[in-house]
Each structure stands twice: as structure tokens, then as C-alpha cells.
Structure 1
Amino acid sequence: MEQVLEFIGNHPLLTGALGVAIAVLIGYEVSRLFRQWKELGTLEAVQLLNREDPVVLDVSNSTDYAKGHIQGAMHMPPSRIEAGNQQLLKFKDRPVLVYCRNNQVAPQMAGRLVKLGFTNVNVLGGGLTQWISDHQPVTRHKGAGKPEEGKGKRRKKSKDGKKSEAKETE
């Protein structure tokens, strides 16, 4: 025990930095316990897309959305979520998948959706960058962002009549 106290006395900056790092880590873990939305990996997001027909919200800026987005994603800038967009509020009872380019904005918008009364809110971990890294499809089609209120209306059928789905990969 004497050696520990001596080390602390000899290295106050190092000890202080360690203390701050531990406090930040504990704070982050505690905040994760109390948030009311889930962060999904790519495989979990693909399963959600293929099984539950969620409303997919791209909260990136217009330029990033135009460069590419998940098929069927509705472009929903943060300002429209903050304002409680009426088009969005129609989907309170559906699962929601929120993402942005690098997962910088999506977690904040997920929290805002929970405050607006959404109960099944999910964030794509790593954002669109991770989605693309995991070899999942993106589209640049401008009309991709208007989900229907009924199920199964979002994905387009291919020439052979099959509904397009994201790949479930591990």
C-alpha cells in the first residue's frame, strides 16, 4: 500500500488522468443503462429491416443523403425531428431505425424521438460508414424516402417479382 501512495505522490498528473478516464468510462456506461433506445450492429439492423418493416430515418445532411442512403430511408434533418414533424409522428407505433454518416448525430436524434413518444427506437451503430464497410447496399434514388403506413410497401420488387432485401452477413 505504501508503494501505491508513493507512486501517486510521484506521478500526480498520470494518476489524475487515470481518475478522469475512469470517471468518463463510468459515466458513459451509466448513461447507456438509462437510455431508452438500442444501438444495433449491421447484422441486427439487417434483421430488423427484413423482419419488422421499420421506418428508416437518415438524419445526415442533404449532401450526404444524396451521396447514398439505405434503400427506403426517409431523409429527416435534425431540425425537422426537433420541431416534431407531423409526417414523422404518424409512425410512433412502428419500429424506427435512425442513422447518419458516422453515428455523430443519430444517437441525439434517437433520444429526441423517445421524448416525442416513440417506443421502439434503434440506432445503426457506426452509421452509414459501417453499413458500407459491411458490404450492405445503398441507393442514390431521390424518391426513396416516403414510407407507407402499411407494412411491406417500402421495398421495391425486382424484375423477377421478388422483394429486395439487405443481406444478412456475419
Structure 2
Amino acid sequence: MDRLLDFAQANPLLSLALLGLTLAIVYTEIRRLFRGYKAVSPAQLTELINREDALVLDLRGQGDYEKGHIIGAKHVLPSQIEPEGKLLAKAKESPVVLVDAAGITASAAAEKLVKAGFKRIGVLDGGIGSWQSAGLPLAKGR
């Protein structure tokens, strides 16, 4: 412990940087625990589709969707997600998984659905890229 204090006194900027990074990691992990939706791996998504008929929403642009999407996925732009709309009205208690290019932009749409009362929301961890990396099939066209 004495060596740690000596280091902190000798290197105040490094010590502050370490403290800042530690706090950022802790904050991120705590926020992830309470966000209301979870990251879903390609294997978990396959299981949700096969066992629970999960609704998969592809949030990428129309061109990317047509180049290749998860079989059975519905195309919808993030700005078009309506929790009370026809597509989602029956899915409040069912699993709904959002897919985007890299697993980043789907988070805002997931938060919107959680706030609207959806109980089982997931985001494909790593987006469509992780699906392809797992060697899982894609459908082309509409």
C-alpha cells in the first residue's frame, strides 16, 4: 500500500487518469445493469427466434437491409418506431430484438421501447456484423 501512495504522489496526473478511467468503467457498468434491455448474442437471438418467435426489427437503411438481413426480420427506421403502432402493438410481452449495423444505434430505440412498457427488449450485440461473423444466414431483398 505504501508503494501505491508513493506512486500516486510521484505521478499525480497518471493517478488522476487512473481514477477517472476507473470511475468511467464503474459508471458504464452500473448504467448497463439498469438500462432495461439486454445485449443478445447471435446464439441467443437464434434461440429466441426459434423458441419464442421473437420479433426482430432491423434498423439499418433500406439498401443495407436488402443486401442482407436476418431471416424474418422486419425493416423499420429508428425514427419510425412507434410503440403503439401496428407492428409492435402485440409484442409488449414478447421478445423484441433490435438489429443495427454495429449494435450502437439500436440502444436509443431500445430505451424508447422500455419507456413505453415493453418488458423483453434486446439489442443484437455487435449488430449484423456479429451475426455474419457467427456464420449465420442472411436473406436478401425485401
Relative to the length of structure 1, the TM-score reads 0.76
Aligned equivalents of 2:64, 2:8: Cα separation in 1 = 48
SS at match of 1:45: helix
C-alpha deviation, 1:50, in angstroms: 0.6
C-alpha deviation, 1:5, in angstroms: 2.5
1:57-107 per-position Cα deviation (integer Å, ceiling 9, x unaligned): 0111223212211011111111112x5461233232321111111001112
Within a 5 Å distance, the mapping from 1:35-74 to structure 2 comes to 35-74=35-74
Structure 1 segments (4+ residues) deviating >6 Å: none
Aligned equivalents of 1:66, 1:13: Cα separation in 2 = 50
Unpaired segments ≥5 residues, structure 2 = none
1:13-51 per-position Cα deviation (integer Å, ceiling 9, x unaligned): 211111111011100111122121121111111111110
Relative to the length of structure 2, the TM-score reads 0.90
SS at match of 1:25: helix
Aligned equivalents of 1:48, 1:121: Cα separation in 2 = 11
Aligned equivalents of 1:114, 1:47: Cα separation in 2 = 22
1:112-158 per-position Cα deviation (integer Å, ceiling 9, x unaligned): 1111221111111111100000000111121xxxxxxxxxxxxxxxx
**Identity rate, percent:** 38
Unpaired segments ≥5 residues, structure 1 = 143-170
Aligned equivalents of 1:120, 1:78: Cα separation in 2 = 18
CA RMSD after TM alignment: 1.6
Quote the residue 2:8 is aligned against.
8
Count how many residue pairs are aligned between Structure 1 and Structure 2.
141
Aligned equivalents of 2:129, 2:84: Cα separation in 1 = 26
